[in-house]
Amino acid sequence: MSEEIKELREKFSETVQNVSDTQTLEEIRIEYLGKKGSVTGLLKSMKNLSNEERKSFGQQVNVLKNEITEAIAKKAEQIKQKELEREISSVPEFDVSAPPVLDRGSYHPITLVQRECERVFRSMGFTVEDYSEIVTDYECFESLNIPKHHPARDMQDTYYLTNGQLLKSQTSAAQNAIYKKYRKALVEEGRPIKAIFPGRCFRNEATDACHENTFFQMEGVMVDKNISISNLIFFMKTMLSEVFRKDIKVRLRPGFFPFVEPGFELDISCLICGGEGCPSCKHSGWLELCPCGMIHPEVLKAGGIDPEEYTGFAFGLGMTRLAMMKYGVKDIRDLNSGNLKSLSQFTAE
């Protein structure tokens, strides 16, 4: 009988050796260990043996059965490993050398520069205000100490509308409304007025690489009991250093604007050369950046604020110019061109 066991063992080890897939292995398992399998058959044939023989034979068959079970499990593990290796080797190495597809949106550069400025001014306690683009003569001129015949009205050729309103030629047009909006909080609660108001402005002029009839400015005002020229210089220097993210030197020169007194032209040390002198600052070391000044008493009065009690400063930053400086845009018309080849390049920083 043990001959049969021996034969079966040899036959099995020969058969299992060449198996390479799970299915054949399963067939083999059934062939040997299944209900009608060879090993089961051996056990069944034991009934004809004597008790002693049966005991010894039974033990031998069980050993065989365990061997086969173990061998099949081992084989199954091998096959799985092989299949995994086959799967991995069949997958190609992906090509990452191709240029990436940059499918993303874009912000208008003015939005980016404006947000940068808003971030800085908000951090110093300024509110961000919005104002209409179509304004009245009173808002744009009268309330800003620019009466009808004033030569300052010649300086800016304004687009007038059929109903007598106009497209605002300066963000200062919002000043009066902002004073009126916050004067109560200023007078009754002692809250200083600190506001910036970015917006689109319009000038009736021919366009070229440096001139646009539609552009962005950002006006800022601060009004409180003791706002001084010294404060103005401090705020401008601090805020511009934040906006440009480097230490900026500022310089004030007298400048004439009817809504401020004294009025200044503010220069900053050249961003390119730092003040040494280079072509971009025409070798002066300075860039003329923004008009500013102490708010004219008449302008405060028009806003319902007593100039004997309160003083304040105002400034106007050219957002369009800042954007051009920041991104190296040479033709101002690119900004309103709607050309995606230009404008899709700008992403948030």
Partner 1 sequence: MFLSMNWISEFVDFTGLDKLALIHRFSLSTAEVENEIFMKGSDISGIVVAEIKTVEEHPESKKLHLLKVDAGGEELVDVVCGAPNVRVGMKTAFAKVGARIGEITIAPRKLAGYTSYGMCCSEAEIGISDDNSGIMEITDDIPNGTDLKEAYQIDDIVFEVDNKSLTNRPDLWGHYGIAREFSALTGRPLKPIQTVDLSQFDSLPQIDMKILDPLCQRYSCLQVDNITRNVSPVNMRVRLYYCGMRAINFLADLTNYLMLEMGQPMHAFDSRKVSSIRIRRFENPFTFKTLDGVERNIDENTLMICNGENPVAIAGIMGGLDSEIVDDTTALTLESATFDAVSIRKSTVRLSHRTDASMRYEKCLDPEMTVTAVGRFVKLMLDADPDSKVISSLTDEYAFHYPERSFDFTKAFVDRYTGIKIGNNTIVETLESLGFETTEENDVFSVKIPSWRATKDVTMKADIIEEITRIYGYDNFDVNTAESPLYPIRTAEEKTVEDRIKDLLVQKYNLHELHSYVWVYNDEYKALGIEIEGNVRLINATNPNIEIIRRSIVPTQLCQVKYNTDFSKEFGVFEIGRTADGVDPETNLCREHKKLCVTLFSKVKTTEQVYTELCNMLAVIADDIKHEKLSFAKIEASHSYQHPKNLNAIICDGKAIGEVGVVYPTIAKKIDKKASIVYAEIDVAEFAEIVSKSMVYDEPSKYPEIEVDLTFMSDRFAPIGSAIDAVNSPLVKKVSVADTYIDDSGKSITVKIVFSDKTKTLTREEVTAVTDNVIKNLESQGIALKV
Site for partner 1, residues 99 to 118, rule: CB under 8 A: 103-108, 110-111, 115
Q: What angle do CA 141, 144, 146 make, to 5 degrees?
A: 55
255 binds partner 1, rule: CB under 8 A: yes
CB of 223 to partner 1, least distance (A): 9
Q: Which residues pair with 268 in a beta bridge?
A: 250, 287
Strand order in the sheet with 260-269: 127-128, 193-202, 214-224, 311-318, 286-295, 260-269, 250-254
Using CB under 8 A, which of 34, 41, 58, 262 touches partner 1? 262
129 binds partner 1, rule: CB under 8 A: yes
Tokens of 294: 């102490």
Tell me which stretch binds partner 1 (CB under 8 A): 11-19, 62-70, 77-85, 338-346. Answer: 338-346
Tell me which stretch binds partner 1 (CB under 8 A): 7-15, 46-54, 73-81, 230-238. Answer: 230-238
132 binds partner 1, rule: CB under 8 A: yes
> Would residue 287 be called left, alpha or beta, if left means φ above 0 and alpha means ψ between -120 and 50 degrees?
beta
Cis peptide before 262 (omega within 30 of 0): yes
CB of 227 to partner 1, least distance (A): 6
Tell me which stretch binds partner 1 (CB under 8 A): 10-18, 36-44, 70-78, 154-162. Answer: 154-162
208 binds partner 1, rule: CB under 8 A: no
Q: Which residues pair with 294 in a beta bridge?
A: 313
Nearer to partner 1, 205 or 276 (CB): 205
202 binds partner 1, rule: CB under 8 A: yes
Kindly provide the b/e burial profile for residues 235-260, where b requires at least 16 CB atoms within 10 angstroms of the residue's own CB: bbbebbbbbbeeebebbbeebebbbb
CA pair distance 138, 80, nearest whole angstrom: 85
Total number of residues binding partner 1 (CB under 8 A)?
Answer: 87
Measured between alpha carbons, how far is residue 332 from residues 33, 336, 348 in Å? 86, 8, 20
264 binds partner 1, rule: CB under 8 A: yes
**Paired sense of beta strands 193-202 and 260-269, if any:** unpaired
CA pair distance 9, 36, nearest whole angstrom: 17
226 binds partner 1, rule: CB under 8 A: yes
Site residues for partner 1, 290-329, by CB under 8 A, read: 294, 296-297, 307, 311
Nearer to partner 1, 66 or 345 (CB): 345
Using CB under 8 A, which of 92, 99, 254, 328 touches partner 1? 254
Tell me which stretch binds partner 1 (CB under 8 A): 2-10, 13-21, 42-50, 217-225. Answer: 217-225
8 Å CB contact between 235 and 241: no
Tell me which stretch binds partner 1 (CB under 8 A): 15-23, 67-75, 91-99, 128-136. Answer: 128-136
275 binds partner 1, rule: CB under 8 A: no
User: Counting Cβ atoms within 10 Å, is residue 297 exposed (0-12), middle (13-18) or buried (19+)?
Assistant: middle
CB of 245 to partner 1, least distance (A): 20
265 binds partner 1, rule: CB under 8 A: yes
155 binds partner 1, rule: CB under 8 A: yes
Give the other-Cβ count within 10 Å of 337's Cβ. Answer: 12
8 Å CB contact between 22 and 79: yes
Nearer to partner 1, 24 or 238 (CB): 238
Tell me which stretch binds partner 1 (CB under 8 A): 22-30, 41-49, 75-83, 258-266. Answer: 258-266
159 binds partner 1, rule: CB under 8 A: yes
